[in-house]
Amino acid sequence: MIRLKKDMETIKVENTGNIVGTINKEIILTPEEMLDKAYMFNRIIVPAGSSIKEHAHQPDAEIYYILEGEVCVTDNGKEAILHSGDVVFTGNGDTHSIKNIGTTDAVFLAVILK
């Protein structure tokens, strides 16, 4: 299967659930396209000041791979500043969050594994 960027759906999520401010979720592949091996494979754009609140992953696991920007993440309450090329893996009931602390959009890949 090949998917062109122009064919990827983008969903804007604003001040709902775990979101503070706005994020844009570019759906790279759907669970069905991944043969239900993963729940999500998205490119997430987080404008300056926006964030995803702390939340747990059980029994699934999530990967954040930072592509652009400067973000503050928590990993089980421990804070770290991440940049392009840095990664966070959260699973086994652990928690994480992410906030754009820069002045430009932060972009990361988010993958939720079954």
For residues 48 and 17, give the distance between their C-alpha atoms in angstroms, rounded to a whole number: 19
pLDDT in tens, 11-63: 999 999 999 999 999 999 999 999 999 999 999 999 999 999 999 999 999 99
- Residue that has been written with the tokens 């659930």 in this structure: 17
Amino acid identity at 21: G
Domain range annotation of the chain: 5-113
Edge-to-edge strands, sheet with 19-20:
19-20, 51-56, 95-100, 71-75, 78-82
Nearest to 110 by CA among 45, 54, 13: 45
Question: For 11, which DSSP code?
Answer: E
Q: What is the pLDDT of residues 70-107, one digit of tens each?
A: 999 999 999 999 999 999 999 999 999 999 999 999 99
Fold of the 5-113 domain:
Jelly Rolls (2.60.120)
pTM attached to this predicted model: 0.94
Residue 77: Cβ-neighbour burial (10 angstroms; 0-12, 13-18, 19+): exposed
